[in-house]
Amino acid sequence: MIKKILFFLIALIVFTAFKSDKPAYILFNQKGKAVKYQRMLEASQKADIVFFGELHNNPISHWLQYELTKDLHAALNGQIILGAEMFEADNQAALSEYLNEVISKDSLKKSARLWPNYKTDIEPLVEFARENKLPFVATNIPRRYASMVFRHGFESLDTLSMEVKEFIAPLPIAYDPELPGYKSMLTMMGESVHGRSPENFPKAQAVKDATMAWFIHSNMESGKTFIHYNGAYHSDNFEGILWYLQLLRPDVKIVTVSTVETDQPIAVPAEKKGVANFIVAVPLTMTKTH
C-alpha cells in the first residue's frame, strides 16, 4: 500500500511539473517509466552502437542528438564514430574531404545530395565531427537504387555494375517479409503504390536498412562507440537496421533511442511502449524544422 501511495505521489508531482513547466520533452525507458537524461548517457557509454531514431522535422530529436554526441565524446575521450541515414554512400568521398578540410562548405553542398533541413538539423553534427576530427560515415544506399527496388524488386540490383554495387549491401539482400515493421508497411499501402507492386515497398525500405547495417558494420572499430542517426522507423522495435546488423554481428551491444510525438507527453502512447531502450516523448504542438 505504501509503495502504491508513493508511486501515486511521484506521478502527481511529475504531472504537476509538466502542467506548470511545459517541458519540451520527457525521457522514458523501454517500460514507459520516466528517467533522467543521465541514465541514457550512461547506457550509451556501454554500447557498441547507439541508434538515435529521430522524427526528421522534430527539433528536439536533433538537439538531443547533438547533446548526446557531445556528452559521449567527452565521456569516452573522443572514441566515437558518427554515421547517418542522411548521407548516401556515394557521397562519402565528398563528406570525408569536407571533414578533412580539403573542400569548402559550398563544395560539399554542390557535391553531396544534402537534405533540405541540412543547415538546421544535420550540419551541427557534421561541424562537430569536423572540429573534433571524428569520422562520419555515409551509410545509406543512393536513393536512385532504392527507387529501382521499389519499381522492380531486388532483382533489378543484379543489373548494376560492380562499381555501383560498392554503395549497396552485398547481394543478394536477405529479406524477411514477416518482420512486423515490413508487414505493417505492406498493410498500410494497400493493393498498389503508384501502380507498383505493393510487395516492393517494404523491400525498398529493407535495402536501405541492409545497406545502413553494412556500412555501420564495415566502419566499426574496437573500443569506439558508433552513433547512428536515422529515422525512428529504421530502428524502432529493434527491427530494420538492427535486424540486418545482428546477422553480421550477433553479439553487438546496442542501445536504441526513439522519438515520439504525443498530445499527452507525460506518458508514452500505449502503442509506442517498448519501441526502444529510451523513448523521447515530445508534445504534438512542438514546432517543426521544415
Collapsed DSSP state (helix, strand, coil) of residue 169: coil
- Residue 18 confidence class, pLDDT cut points 50, 70, 90: very low
pLDDT of 182 reads 95
User: What pLDDT shows up at residue 20?
Assistant: 53
What pLDDT sits at residue 13? 42
Task: Give 175-234 pLDDT, tens digit per residue.
Answer: 999 999 999 998 877 655 566 678 899 999 999 999 999 999 999 999 999 999 999 999
Percent above pLDDT 70 for the chain: 90
Q: Which residue has the higher pLDDT, 242 or 4?
A: 242
Structure-block grid coordinates of residue 203: 523491400
The reported pLDDT for the residue numbered 263 is: 84
The predicted structure's pLDDT at residue 22: 83
* Residue 123 pLDDT level (bands cut at 50, 70, 90): very high
| Nearest of 39, 53, 65, 23 to residue 231 by alpha carbon | 53
Check whether 8 has a pLDDT greater than 50. Answer: no
Q: What is the pLDDT of residue 198?
A: 86
| Nearest to 234, CA basis, from 190, 182, 271 | 182
Provide the grid cell at 276.
526502444
Angle at 80 between CA 113 and CA 122, to 5 degrees: 30
Q: pLDDT tens, 69-103? A: 999 999 999 999 999 999 999 999 999 999 999 99
Whether residue 14 is predicted with pLDDT greater than 50 in this model: the reply is: no
Judged against a pLDDT cut of 60, whether residue 12 lies above it is answered with no
Whether 161 has a pLDDT exceeding 90, the answer reads yes
CA dihedral sign of residues 62, 54, 277, 3: positive
Angle at 226 (CA atoms; ends 183, 274), nearest 5 degrees? 40
What are the tens digits of pLDDT across the range 247-258?
999 999 999 999
Domains and CATH numbers, the chain: 25-283 (3.40.50.11550)
Please give the DSSP secondary-structure letter assigned to residue 173.
P
User: Cβ(226)–Cβ(48) under 8 Å?
Assistant: yes
- Mean pLDDT, the chain, rounded, equals 91
Residue written as grid cell 499501402: 189
- The pLDDT assigned to 16 comes to 46
